[in-house]
């Protein structure tokens, strides 16, 4: 006999406690294989396809697209060992319930991978955005978590399946026993609880005010935007930062890049050259490649440079991380920047791609601005900001000339170093930009 297993939203790592359903990859009645992705979710860090550890027939889905679920909440139930769902017979009379036929056609060979197959489900999907699942009754033993019992009261059991519905009712003092469910067989849905709440909160009729107060658009601070807000707020709360900046003549750097690209081979980006300069500067000033352990009251200098870089995407600001940047040459850095940027724009970065950075390079010059005061990417100790490179009047060789000028800004954690160290780092970066031979001498 098949057994119905409940698959919950797993812990996605990096301290994430919730995820939003972006797109269901399976429907009720589909046959899924072990480790087949069943839903695409968006966390505060990345878009993730969640694979199911069970193989069989999907009998229920919990949650609608756009709904946020906590880690540990049910995602789907799977009839393990089944190959199809029963077809629904004609109802005997209007208003009578459908009785599913016995489950047939299931096998015992679990090693054979199942293909995705659509089978006509017994019930249609619920269109309202509720936490109740889309279900198909399956006459087999059911194994479910203790977190999703049917609530019971003095008058008998209350038909509630979703733990989110029960929590919503409990948090707002709604007596489930007093509700009449609108779902199949009287199942109480989230919409039923919300309707009860609306009735309780309905204000008494009052005279219309002379002038209404404008109600601004409300945008949920969640997902990537919420994660960015929290990280930047924490940076401002915990890090006593300071910023220094300098203008540099980037004419020679741009000429060196043009010569490198003219020699053939993969193209090298300006960002890659700046990254290579940063790793050389961090080798000289390791204080800026560190973090502060507040509990131990220690500064932790980090042995490797995991270089984050700011990438603007449709989902918001992302900071992918290039691992072991100190061991990469400009060609390797260019390739890695291109790879991670493409993943960021496609929404396919993993949480691992977005964490573990030790220093961030922010090229805001792509937005056509000259300067900024970067906010440190907590828990790092510094960030280098780079403005646009544009022709400007510049004194070169004792004469006024038009040169390619860029403004460099360094924001640093004043706990890890003083202004002398920060100024030394920034001056070395500027010297390498103005004369790339300085970098070659230090290699």
Per-residue tokens: 324: 């072991």
- Where does the pLDDT of residue 207 fall: very low under 50, low under 70, confident under 90, or very high at 90 and above? low
Mean pLDDT of 278-288: 97
Q: Which two tokens stand for residue 218?
A: 């409300």
pLDDT in tens, 88-105: 444 333 333 433 333 333
Q: Provide the 3-class DSSP secondary structure of residue 177.
A: helix
**Which candidate in 11, 35, 175, 418 is catalytic?**
418
Could you tell me the domains of the chain?
3-148 (2.40.50.100), 153-199 (4.10.320.10), 227-442 (3.30.559.10)
Higher per-residue pLDDT: 250 or 90: 250
pLDDT at 86: 57
Q: Give the span between the Cα atoms of 337 and 319, in whole angstroms.
A: 11
Q: Is the pLDDT of residue 435 over 90?
A: yes
340-388 tens-digit pLDDT: 999 998 888 888 898 999 999 999 998 999 999 999 999 999 999 999 9
pLDDT tens, position by position, 290-322: 999 999 999 999 999 999 998 888 877 889 999
- What's the token pair of residue 370? 């000259």
Q: Please, are residues 192 and 131 in contact by the beta-carbon 8 Å criterion?
A: no
The rounded Cα 43 to chain-centroid distance in angstroms is 4
Q: Rounded distance, CA 152 to CA 25, Å?
A: 34
The Cα angle at residue 420 between residues 419 and 423, in degrees rounded to 5: 80
Question: How much is the pLDDT for 421?
Answer: 97
Eight-class DSSP state of 305:
-
User: Are 376 and 241 in contact, with CB atoms under 8 Å apart?
Assistant: yes
Residues 6+ positions from 26 with CB-CB distance below 8 Å: 32, 36, 38, 39, 58, 61, 76, 116
What is the rounded distance in angstroms from the CA atom of residue 337 to the CA atom of residue 301? 25
Max Cα separation, the chain?
A: 98
> According to the 3-state scheme, what is the secondary structure of 188-219?
CCHHHHHHHHHHHHCCCCCCCCCCCCCCCCCC
Counting Cβ atoms within 10 Å, is residue 18 exposed (0-12), middle (13-18) or buried (19+)? middle
CA dist 52 and 69 (Å) reads 16
Rounded Cα–Cα distance for residues 29 and 137 (Å): 11
Choosing from 110, 172, 396, 414, the catalytic residue is 414
Take residue 297 and report the two structure tokens written for it: 């009251």
Task: Let me know if 247 is a catalytic residue.
Answer: no
Residue 113 pLDDT level (bands cut at 50, 70, 90): very low
The winner for highest mean pLDDT among 12-21, 84-93, 121-130, 143-152 is: 12-21
Residues 6 or more apart from 364 whose CB is under 8 A from it?
Answer: 310, 372, 385, 386, 387
Active site residue 414: yes
Can you give the length of the chain in residues? Answer: 443
pLDDT of residue 229: 85
Q: Annotate 248-272 with three-state secondary structure.
A: EECHHHHHHHHHHHHCCCCCCCHHH
Q: What is the model's pTM?
A: 0.59
pLDDT at 415 over 70: yes
Match 């790339």 to its residue by tokens: 436
**Residue 136 pLDDT exceeds 70:** no
Q: Which two tokens stand for residue 339?
A: 């790879």
User: Is the model's pLDDT at 119 over the cut of 70?
Assistant: no
SS3 state of residue 428 = helix
- Between CA 265 and CA 186 the distance in angstroms is 68
163/160 Cα distance (integer angstroms) = 8
Residue burial 159-198, b: 16+ Cβ < 10 Å; e: rest: bbbbbbbbebbeeeebebeebebbbbeebbbbbbbbebee
3-class state of residue 129 by DSSP: coil
Helix, strand and coil percent figures for the chain, each rounded to 5 = 30, 25, 45
| Interacting residues of 282 by C-beta distance below 8 A, sequence separation 6+ | 288, 289, 305, 326, 359, 425
Q: What is the pLDDT of residue 168?
A: 77
> 252 — phi, psi (to 5°)?
-65, -35
Q: What is the pLDDT of residue 164?
A: 64
Give the alpha-carbon dihedral of 122, 125, 128, 130, to 10 degrees.
Answer: 90
Average pLDDT over residues 50-54: 91
Q: How far apart are CA 99 and CA 89, in angstroms?
A: 7
H or E element in which residue 400 lies: strand 399-413
pLDDT computed for residue 85 by the predictor: 62
pLDDT > 90 in the chain, percent: 48
Residue 136 backbone dihedrals phi, psi, to 5 degrees: -130, 120
């Amino acid at each position: 006999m098949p057994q119905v297993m409940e698959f919950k939203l797993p812990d996605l790592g990096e301290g994430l406690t919730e995820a939003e359903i972006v797109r269901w990859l399976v429907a009720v009645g589909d046959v899924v294989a072990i480790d087949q992705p069943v839903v695409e979710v968006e966390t505060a860090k990345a878009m993730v396809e969640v694979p199911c550890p069970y193989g069989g027939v999907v009998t229920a889905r919990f949650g609608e697209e756009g709904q946020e679920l906590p880690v540990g909440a049910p995602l789907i139930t799977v009839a393990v060992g089944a190959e199809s769902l029963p077809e629904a017979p004609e109802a005997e009379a209007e208003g009578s319930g459908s009785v599913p036929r016995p489950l047939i056609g299931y096998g015992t060979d679990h090693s054979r991978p199942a293909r995705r197959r659509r089978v006509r489900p017994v019930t249609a999907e619920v269109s309202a955005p509720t936490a109740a699942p889309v279900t198909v009754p399956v006459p087999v033993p059911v194994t479910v978590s203790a977190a999703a019992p049917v609530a019971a009261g003095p008058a008998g059991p209350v038909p509630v399946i979703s733990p989110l519905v029960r929590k919503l009712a409990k948090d707002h003092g709604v007596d489930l026993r007093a509700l009449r469910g609108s779902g199949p067989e009287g199942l109480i849905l989230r919409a039923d609880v919300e309707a009860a709440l609306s009735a309780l909160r309905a204000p008494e009729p009052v005279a219309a005010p002379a002038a209404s107060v404008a109600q601004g658009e409300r945008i949920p601070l969640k997902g990537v935007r919420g994660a960015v807000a929290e990280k930047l707020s924490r940076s401002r709360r915990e890090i006593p930062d300071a910023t220094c900046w300098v203008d540099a003549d980037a004419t020679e750097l741009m000429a060196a890049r043009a010569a490198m690209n003219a020699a053939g081979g993969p193209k090298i980006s300006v960002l890659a050259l700046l990254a290579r300069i940063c790793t050389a500067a961090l080798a000289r000033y390791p204080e800026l490649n560190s973090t502060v352990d507040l509990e131990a009251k220690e500064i932790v200098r980090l042995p490797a440079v995991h270089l984050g870089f700011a990438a603007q995407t449709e989902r918001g600001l992302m900071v992918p991380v290039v691992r072991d940047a100190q061991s990469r040459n400009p060609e390797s850095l260019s390739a890695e920047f291109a790879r991670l940027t493409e993943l960021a724009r496609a929404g396919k970065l993993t949480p691992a791609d977005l964490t573990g950075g030790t220093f961030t390079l922010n090229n805001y010059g792509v937005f056509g601005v000259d300067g900024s005061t970067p906010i440190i990417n907590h828990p790092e100790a510094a960030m280098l900001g780079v403005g646009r490179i544009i022709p400007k009047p510049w004194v070169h060789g004792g004469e006024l000339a038009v040169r390619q000028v860029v403004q460099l800004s360094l924001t640093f954690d004043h706990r890890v170093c003083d202004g002398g160290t920060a100024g030394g780092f920034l001056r070395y970066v500027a010297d390498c930009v103005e004369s790339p031979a300085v970098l070659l001498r230090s290699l």
